Structure 1
């Protein structure tokens, strides 16, 4: 008899068809089983490259106008969104509020399940409303199922403010995609552990979010070549990395690069401009500002 449970219609909730008794397998076979399942994920993400590319350009265009990138999700999806948002400032030198991660249930849900939080569409709407959204903002709703009420409520509120809305899910023809301007659907199929979307779905989601945020930063001039030149050195590891970046981008020696970084308050992009142009930090900052932060336009593309 067919099930009337809507979860049973989701590929991520289906049995994988192998009938595998996981506990009966040797550990080596279990490891191979999980790895084989993961091996398909990159190819499945590849099927979505056209819409991912369109999303990157749309996000970057809005961010260039002062907009923000907001990730919204529940459970694993929410944690991945918050993770992505938290990694952008140290990597690309952005202010903390430029990329935002919201998770159903608030910060406590990052480490513990908050019962019922994902089912509250009104909370999703209120959480994005609290950001004082503008038309320049982009809101990315993340839900492996493509049907989480919290995320649907957030996207509805975002659309009401004229934001660009993007859906990231791991099923097809989802309500989330229908509610968004752009729908990214990575059909990962059944999980090794039935319904455990922290597995293939989580991997696919991480790959998509990495691509969206990283390439938006590239379009905004946060890189030079493939160097993270907007990095600001705030600890010893980053100071060493910043010196290597400045040496590579400018051709200067390590001592000269370190001195320029010190004069540039640890900002690698400013230090490179100083060394290539032969000017002090104020003039380098002015040149970068005039070029919209595009180092290649200031010192030439290499």
Structure 2
């Protein structure tokens, strides 16, 4: 794996705030919020990079490929959140967007010691899904040096599998390894090195942009509505009913609900109800 000693980790730079433990609660909150306000601007600067990755993911998925996220710790957990919300939100099959976290499912709720340092397991975890050239793998690591992630992307490159990444440190091994890198420079954290803060927020915003835009390109959204969402709870059923009422100009809630439940999706209910 590529050496990480020849670049500066800005995410590990000292916090500009000193003696945080002496701050009043109000001042702590104001300063955290002040730092958070920098994140959206940092993501905005990365939009050209995000666009390039979204374009290639869309092309691959339209050709039958899948999207994989791979990360450790906070980055892995954020990946799990994004991937797990794609089926209910957009009605896509389980297994189209897959998140892999170092240490496995147990690592979602608790830290698994040394899992992120394993240079072999990332590729082994990807192989469990019979990964191939149709797929895209996006590595996520604030530092850009996580061995589990970097080595997995290196193996993907050897096997002609397209890769992207989301990192918060320019010039990192992860950026240099990925075909389509995204670098969101959020700078030092409020608490020195606590990348669950601004770096994690930037990763979440970027993941939202990637998955949402890809799903729009795949035709899973119409107008501004989630017409393919799964009707898995009363809130989503109610939302679906109101969309059906609007699109078919139906004033009777129960009639629209019956139509929706009969066809099982907003899209089908609207198509068949016209």
Smaller-chain TM-score bracket: over 0.9
Distance in 1 (alpha carbons) for counterparts of 2:222 and 2:37: 31
How do 1:122-133 and structure 2 match up within 5 A?
A: 122-133=120-131
* Offset at residue 33 of structure 1 (A): 0.7
Matched, 1:252 2:250: yes
**Alpha-carbon RMSD:** 1.6
Matched with 2:172 is 174
Distance in 2 (alpha carbons) for counterparts of 1:65 and 1:248: 34
Matched with 1:154 is 152
Distance in 2 (alpha carbons) for counterparts of 1:224 and 1:256: 22
Distance in 2 (alpha carbons) for counterparts of 1:132 and 1:156: 17
Matched with 1:263 is 262
* Offset at residue 101 of structure 1 (A): 0.7
Matched with 1:34 is 32
Distance in 2 (alpha carbons) for counterparts of 1:235 and 1:26: 42
Unaligned runs of 5+ in 2: none
**Is contact 2:7-2:172 (8 Å) kept?**
no
Distance in 2 (alpha carbons) for counterparts of 1:199 and 1:12: 10
How do 1:36-55 and structure 2 match up within 5 A?
A: 36-55=34-53
Matched with 1:106 is 104
Q: Which runs of 4+ in 1 moved over 4 A?
A: 5-8
The secondary structure found in structure 2 opposite 1:100 is: strand
The secondary structure found in structure 2 opposite 1:196 is: coil
* Greater relative contact order structure (CA < 8 Å, 6+ sep): 2
* Offset at residue 8 of structure 1 (A): 8.9
Matched with 1:213 is 211
* Offset at residue 23 of structure 1 (A): 0.7
**Is contact 1:261-1:268 (8 Å) kept?**
yes
**Aligned to 1:85, which of 83, 86, 92?**
83
Matched with 2:227 is 229
**Is contact 1:124-1:153 (8 Å) kept?**
yes
Q: 1:179 to 1:258 in 2, by over 3 A?
A: same
Distance in 1 (alpha carbons) for counterparts of 2:153 and 2:256: 46
Distance in 1 (alpha carbons) for counterparts of 2:167 and 2:129: 23
- Matched pairs, number: 270
User: How far does the alpha carbon of each residue in 1:11-68 deviate from its partner, in whole angstroms, 9 at most, with x for none?
Assistant: 00010234x1011100000000100000000000000001111211211111111211
Matched, 1:204 2:202: yes
Unaligned runs of 5+ in 1: 277-302
* Offset at residue 155 of structure 1 (A): 1.1
Matched with 2:141 is 143
Matched with 1:11 is 10
Distance in 2 (alpha carbons) for counterparts of 1:249 and 1:195: 49
The secondary structure found in structure 2 opposite 1:140 is: strand
Distance in 2 (alpha carbons) for counterparts of 1:7 and 1:206: 28
* Structure 1 range deviating more: 50-59 or 241-250: 241-250
* Offset at residue 234 of structure 1 (A): 2.1
Matched, 1:120 2:118: yes
